[in-house]
Amino acid sequence: MFQSNDIIILKITREGLFFSPRDFLPVRDIALQLATTTEVEHFEDRFQWLLAEVMNFDTGILKCKILEYNPYNKNAFNNQSYDVSIVKQLLLSSGDTGKILNLAKRKTQKRESTTRAKPEVIKESRVEEPVVKQKSPKPTNRKIIIEKSISFEFPFIKVKFIDGYAIIRERFYFNDLHKSIDLEIEIKNGFIKKGFGSIKNYFINFLKIKNITVEARVKIQNEEVLILEAQSPDIKKIGPGLIDEVKYRYIRKELLSANDDFDIYTVDELFDETGESGVGPGTFNIDDANFIDDVIKIKSPKHSKQIEYLSALHKHNIIKLRVVKKPFSFLFFLENGDNQFFIWETLFGTDGTYLWLFMKNPGEASDYKSALKDNLDSIKDEISKIQSQGRIRYLKNRPENFRRIFHDYNEKDGFETWKNAINELVLIPA
């Protein structure tokens, strides 16, 4: 249903107007409100879009006033939905006589005698004269250009984020035009990512504000309002430092929180399955290696040196890092000669580092990938056994390809002792 003051984006074709990609009103049901109501034969190609305001809708007659010709912002068009089947006739009016006369070819009205048709011909010829607008004594046809600054507060929670920009969509009343106009204001910030839209509350909490301050410079020209520039001191604060703080808090709350999740994830899957919708590693420019760095900064684990060492050896180009949620730990993959190793290291566990050895498949690349997947699935099963039956029981019945490296907490060089044991097992020179 059409309501007064609704703002509509209309797409112009020769045969009629689209109210949305699906809703079309043919030209036979459209007329222009000039000195008299004039039917339209077809639309010209001078304009492609219209921004219009609903003035009234009654008994099937929809009256709209054209606010802008070829408006800059047409984003709302794809989201509009109108039942145009209830519209018997659309009447278009405009404060800009020159533009509406150039909008469409009008039907020639039938007269009782041929002599009375001459004024209509004269009227048609005046459409192409650019001085028509200048000769009109009406103030609305004078070319008015005003530049002014506006400043306002806007709810942070309603700000939209796209890569590189914060977007504000709001309706403003301009005294110079004596009416309200919908504006889309873009505030540039190269650090902003689209995914920030799902974690706005984190930024709100860190900045300790509910509303942002916006300052914009606008240009008012006849019926149009153009944004010349816009900035916000609050949006400007979204930089590397604040983003890191938000990232750490997000990872701590959403990804590292204790629960009964025993699944094994890649970093991408961890974000998708346990985090907010729309937030992924790319939101914070995270890859496997710096995700480990972030976890170490957040948790300060007992085995930080061991995790950093194994991360440096992990074959990121062959297989993605795996993350076990409970206990929170990492599964690394190493390869040396004909041997492959999966190494499971926890953040705080005192039971040692677990290692499984496999022989590399010497066949074709497809066979290698298939065998690697089978080996990874096998390790997932082994970890599942440990989680379900406990480490003590598992160690009593451990498979032949299993090794265990103890952590030495008593000596100052305990890490070196552990590293030498790892190197000896995986045949990496110490």
pLDDT in tens, 87-106: 999 999 998 888 888 899 98
Residue 181 near residue 260, CB atoms below 8 Å: no
Whether 395 has a pLDDT exceeding 70, the answer reads yes
User: Which pLDDT band holds residue 428 (cuts at 50, 70, 90)?
Assistant: low
Entry pTM: 0.60
What's the pLDDT score for residue 127?
37
Degrees (nearest 5) of the Cα angle 313, 317, 323? 65
Q: Concatenate the DSSP letters of all residues of 407-427 into one string.
A: ---SSTTHHHHHHHHHHHHHT
Whether 295 has a pLDDT exceeding 70, the answer reads yes
Closest CA to 95 of 127, 40, 52: 52
Q: For the chain, what is the mean pLDDT?
A: 86
Whether 343 has a pLDDT exceeding 90, the answer reads yes
Q: How many Å is the Cα radius of gyration of the chain?
A: 34
User: Which pLDDT band holds residue 143 (cuts at 50, 70, 90)?
Assistant: low
Region 178-203: mean pLDDT is 92
d(CA 398, CA 411): 28
Say which residue, 124 or 22, is predicted with more confidence. 22
Instruction: Tell me phi and psi for residue 344, to 5 degrees.
Output: -110, 120
d(CA 366, CA 268): 24
User: How much of the chain, in percent, has pLDDT values that exceed 90?
Assistant: 55
Region 380-390: mean pLDDT is 92
Whether 50 has a pLDDT exceeding 50, the answer reads yes
E strands, 81-144, where?
A: 89-94, 104-106
User: How much of the chain, in percent, has pLDDT values that exceed 70?
Assistant: 89
Lowest mean pLDDT: which of 123-132, 169-178, 229-238? Answer: 123-132
User: Which pLDDT band holds residue 77 (cuts at 50, 70, 90)?
Assistant: confident
Lowest mean pLDDT: which of 22-26, 72-76, 162-166, 223-227? Answer: 72-76
User: Which pLDDT band holds residue 363 (cuts at 50, 70, 90)?
Assistant: low
Region 263-286: mean pLDDT is 87
Region 313-321: mean pLDDT is 93
Secondary structure letter of residue 281 according to DSSP: G
Degrees (nearest 5) of the Cα angle 316, 286, 384? 60
Residue 172, strand partner residues? 181
